[in-house]
Homo-oligomer: A and B are copies of this chain.
Amino acid sequence: MSPKPRATDVKARLVEAAIRLLDESGPEALQARKLAAEVGVSTMAVYTHFGGMAALVDEVARAGFVRLAEWLAQVGETADPVADIFSLARTYRQAVAEQPQLYAVAFGQSAPGGKRATLSDLTTEAGREAAQEGLEAFAPIVRATARAIAAGRFRPADEYQAAAQLWSALHGFVTLEASGHFGPAEQGIDHILVPLGITMAVGLGDTVDRARGSAEAAKAAWRARTGNTGQGGND
């Protein structure tokens, strides 16, 4: 596709620098001059490749959703679909905890220049692509939900509608936690996120005991995978 797959792929390097500076120094570091200096080019490169900072930010958002999709995609499917949902929730929360700035931009919580107001009024093509990636990132949740319905853990229901409920609850928790509304770091997982997951599972048709068991199974799997005390969110 690109005629020059050189090491000097300025466009890709600008996005990489944007993501790195975003994590390191926050949204206010997303400036045309800083990015250009970081990559070693002039600010004009931003305009030849993106047309403006807004489109570059949209590209960063798209990269964030792609990264989130990769995180969620590598959560394997087990025989317990409800446990898989808990694992997806922990993974999603972990991804946001590790790169809060990136996902704040992706979900529009942080707008580095007043641009990128709400996803509603998207003008750039990269912005629409970002919204699309956002939907695709949650495909694993839809699949796990469908499997939970098929396995009789959840009541028969439209899988997209049920997954949208789970997505809402998960996204709400992560958003409020990242905003600092749930106090100090890690307690939110055990005190709110896991109980919330149990509530959702039971409300969708699971029994309390089986939901708790799936939550425990996911917690054990998480501990085994991350190797720490099982809280999950750290860095």
Given contacts A117-B28, A131-B180, A173-B172, contact A191 B112 (CB under 8 A): no
Please report the total number of A residues contacting B with Cβ < 8 Å: 53
A108 touches B192 (CB 8 A): no
Give the distance in Å from the alpha carbon of A162 to the alpha carbon of B191 in the complex.
10
Partner of A191, one of B107, B122, B161: B161
CB pair B196–A199 under 8 Å, yes or no, is no
From B114, B176, B195, A171 is in contact (CB under 8 Å) with: B176
Bound complex: CA of A109 vs CA of B198, how far in Å? 28
Chain A interface SS verdict (over half): helix
A17 close to B (CB within 8 Å): no
Kindly state whether residue A202 has any CB partner on chain B within 8 Å. Answer: yes
Number of copies: 2
Answer whether residue A100 sits at the interface, using C-beta atoms and an 8 A cutoff: yes
CB distance from A64 to the nearest CB of B (A): 14
Q: Which of B112, B119, B201 is within 8 Å of A111, CB to CB?
A: B112
Question: Do B180 and A172 have beta carbons less than 8 Å apart?
Answer: no
The answer, among B113, B119, B204, for a CB contact under 8 Å with A181, is B119
A167 near B: Cβ within 8 Å? yes
Please state if A168 and B173 are interface contacts (CB–CB under 8 Å): yes
**Contacts A117-B26, A167-B172, A172-B169; is A109 near B112 (CB within 8 Å)?**
no
